[in-house]
Amino acid sequence: MSDVKAIILTHNTLEAKGLWQLLCESFDIDAHIGNENFFAMFNSSAEPDIFFIDQVTLVANLGFFLPRKAKTVILVNSNIVVDDMKTLDVTVGDSQMISDLNAILEADKKEDRSSSMLSAREIEVLRLIAMGYINKEIANELNISINTVLTHRKNLTSKLGIKSVSGLSFYAMMNGIV
Amino acid sequence: MALINRDSKLSEVILHDPSTITVLDRFGIALGVGDATVSDSCAEHNIDVNFFTAILNTFINENYFPQEALAKFSATEIVDYLSKTNDYYERNVLPNIERHFAFLIGKAPSHNNNLVLMRQFFEEVKTELSQRISHDREHWFPQVCSKAQETQPNTALEVNIEDIPNDAIEDKIDDLINMLIVHLKGDYDHNLGYAVVVAVLSLKKDIKQNNRIRNRILRPISQALTVGNE
């Protein structure tokens, strides 16, 4: 599942369920349908990446959505434009809907295409992990803080897709790092 | 596929998801299922229909996990299923992956040490899984069964179901798959390479589904039994 999180807030149940299914099945997005408690329970640490809302929800919560304009999509019943906000026409057919959604999500993708190449520092950390060093020893050896070591480890795991210490060690051996 | 129920045809279950063949095998059901339904087959093999459908549905649907319903089954029933699952890993899956690795490495040019390292990593996963299986067989499972026998039948257990941390074996299998798919280098026989990947992927699916039963059903039951008997 992708790590894009979407919230659907609309008074139209069929619309919500249909969009939820499209997002989950065709786009592999972690989508949730919010209920009336959404704003009361809202916790900014779990801020979604994208909101799909109907116009009623928009009008009732302008103060919430205006600052989040860039990641809010208004569900509309025709090809109308709502100020300069993103809209999704819910009356179109299957293939048009998929291509509209695709356009919205593509534009929304974070500019997070950083190279999967390891930096010199990451290679150094990887080498020490493979040699059996624990975080504290790595921090000492490289004169960096434990938090920096943890950040490097997180980046290693996300760049290589390898979580376990032994997996990282074998990767290091395969690539001549140790 | 809709959830499997007592009237579902076994042949349709298998056609929908062929990996269920190995689950059916653990219940003693072999290929050549004819047009038997789930309940026909359960009657013939003396299997509890509810337990059988719960296990199959859990196996097929990633999102389906009837935690409360599963926790009501008897501990011995669950232990029996998980023991057969362990046997299946030991007798079939692990030797199968080893065989595929042996073919792959046997046919690869000798300078490709990538594959040898991958096999070593797999051996490490295998050792860890085998240790877990022996511990289950010698300690955990007998303990759960004897506690279950001491407990009055139908005693309501205080089953405490919490989120469990990541499973180290699952993590390592994920790593192995990533290394094969993303990081494999050098010359090798592609066909034999796919065979290794497919074999490891099927182990991954099986472990993942059964870990849910193991960690989220049997573990809380076993803890509740221990507390109940103290």
CA of A3 to nearest chain B CA: how many angstroms apart? Answer: 17
Question: Which secondary structure element, helix H or strand E, spans residue A33, and what is its range?
Answer: strand A30-33
Please tell me whether residues B141 and B93 are part of one structural domain: yes
- Portions of chain A given CATH number 3.40.50.2300: 5-108
Q: Best residue in A32, A117, A170, A173 to probe B by mutation, most B CBs within 10 Å?
A: A170
Interchain CB contact of B121 with A (< 8 Å): yes
CA of B119 to nearest chain A CA: how many angstroms apart? Answer: 10
Q: What percent of chain B has pLDDT over 90?
A: 61
Residue B159: pLDDT band with limits 50, 70, 90: low
Please tell me whether residues B55 and B111 are part of one structural domain: no
- What lies within 8 Å, CB to CB, of B196 at 6+ separation is B97, B100, B101, B104, B180
pLDDT of res. A42: 81
The 3-state DSSP class for residue B200 equals helix
Question: Residue B44 pLDDT more than 60?
Answer: yes
CA of A104 to nearest chain B CA: how many angstroms apart? Answer: 27
Residue A38: pLDDT band with limits 50, 70, 90: confident
pLDDT of res. B152: 66
Across B104-136, b (16+ Cβ under 10 Å) vs e yields bbeebeeebebbebbbebbebbbeebeebbeeb
Please tell me whether residues B116 and B209 are part of one structural domain: yes
Say if B1 falls within a structural domain: no
Q: Are strands A72-76 and A86-89 parallel, antiparallel or unpaired?
A: parallel
Residue A114: pLDDT band with limits 50, 70, 90: very low
Nearest CA in chain A to B120: A170
pLDDT of res. B156: 60
Q: Which of A60-69, A72-81, B21-30, B220-229 has the least mean pLDDT?
A: B220-229
The 3-state DSSP class for residue A144 equals coil
Q: Which chain B residues contact residue A20 at CB under 8 A?
A: none
Say if B4 falls within a structural domain: no
Say if B18 falls within a structural domain: yes
Please tell me whether residues B23 and B121 are part of one structural domain: no
Q: Which of A8, A63, A6 lies closest to A35 in space, CA to CA?
A: A8
| Amino acid in the structure at residue A71 | K
For B99-152, give the DSSP string: HHHHHHHHHS-TT-HHHHHHHHHHHHHHHHHHHHHHHIIIIIHHHHHHHHHHSP
- Residue B75 CA to its chain's centroid (Å): 17
Nearest CA in chain B to A157: B175
Q: Which of A99-108, B3-12, B183-192 has the least mean pLDDT?
A: A99-108
pLDDT of res. B52: 93
B175·A174 Cβ contact <8 A:
no
Please tell me whether residues B157 and B223 are part of one structural domain: yes
Facing residue for A162 by CB, picked from B114, B120, B179: B179
Q: Which of B24, B134, B140 lies closest to B75 in space, CA to CA?
A: B140
Please tell me whether residues B94 and B201 are part of one structural domain: yes
For chains A and B, count residue pairs whose Cβ atoms are closer than 8 Å.
44
Say if B3 falls within a structural domain: no
Q: Is the dihedral of CA B132, B212, B198, A129 positive or negative?
A: negative
Domain termination site, one of B25, B49, B64? B64
CA-CA distances (angstroms) from residue A138 to A117, A148, A163, A167, B61? 21, 10, 17, 18, 42
Instruction: Please give the model's pTM, rounded to 2 decimal places.
Output: 0.72
**If you average pLDDT over residues B134-138, what whole number do you get?**
95
Please tell me whether residues B20 and B48 are part of one structural domain: yes
The residue ranking higher by pLDDT, B207 or B64, is B207
Domain A5-108 has CATH 3.40.50.1700: no
Query: From CA B206, how far away is CA B131, in angstroms rounded?
Result: 18
Facing residue for B171 by CB, picked from A164, A171, A173: A164
In terms of residue numbers, what domain contains B22? Answer: 10-64
Interchain CB contact of B170 with A (< 8 Å): no
**If you average pLDDT over residues A10-33, what whole number do you get?**
90
Query: From CA B179, how far away is CA B172, in angstroms rounded?
Result: 10
pLDDT of res. B225: 82
Specify the DSSP class assigned to residue B153.
T
Please tell me whether residues B201 and B108 are part of one structural domain: yes
Question: Residue B84 pLDDT more than 90?
Answer: yes
Interchain CB contact of B118 with A (< 8 Å): yes
CB A89 within 8 A of CB A79: yes
Query: From CA A169, how far away is CA A110, in angstroms rounded?
Result: 31
Nearest CA in chain B to A166: B121
- Portions of chain A given CATH number 1.10.10.10: 120-174
CATH of A120-174, one of 1.10.3720.10, 1.10.10.10, 3.30.470.20, 1.20.1050.40: 1.10.10.10
Residue B134: pLDDT band with limits 50, 70, 90: very high
Q: Which chain A residues contact residue B129 at CB under 8 A?
A: none
Neighbours of A1 (CB within 10 A): 9
Facing residue for A171 by CB, picked from B171, B174, B183: B183
Interchain CB contact of B156 with A (< 8 Å): no
Please tell me whether residues B176 and B217 are part of one structural domain: yes
Q: Which chain A residues contact residue B122 at CB under 8 A?
A: none
Please tell me whether residues B193 and B209 are part of one structural domain: yes
How confident is the prediction for chain A on average, in pLDDT?
A: 87
Domains contained in chain B, number: 2
∠ at Cα B18 (B12, B19), nearest 5°? 130
Query: From CA B214, how far away is CA B230, in angstroms rounded?
Result: 23
Neighbours of A44 (CB within 10 A): 5
Q: Which of B64, B58, B61 lies closest to B81 in space, CA to CA?
A: B58
Query: From CA A155, how far away is CA A105, in angstroms rounded?
Result: 25
The residue ranking higher by pLDDT, B66 or B179, is B179
Question: Residue B8 pLDDT more than 90?
Answer: yes
Residues shown for chain A:
178
Say if B184 falls within a structural domain: yes
pLDDT of res. A111: 46
- Interface confidence, given as ipTM, is 0.80
Please tell me whether residues B59 and B81 are part of one structural domain: no
Interchain CB contact of B127 with A (< 8 Å): no
B175·A173 Cβ contact <8 A:
no
Interchain CB contact of B182 with A (< 8 Å): yes
CB B93 within 8 A of CB B19: no
The 3-state DSSP class for residue B156 equals coil
Please tell me whether residues B49 and B134 are part of one structural domain: no
The 3-state DSSP class for residue A155 equals helix
Interchain CB contact of B176 with A (< 8 Å): yes
Facing residue for B175 by CB, picked from A162, A173, A175: A162
Nearest CA in chain A to B128: A166
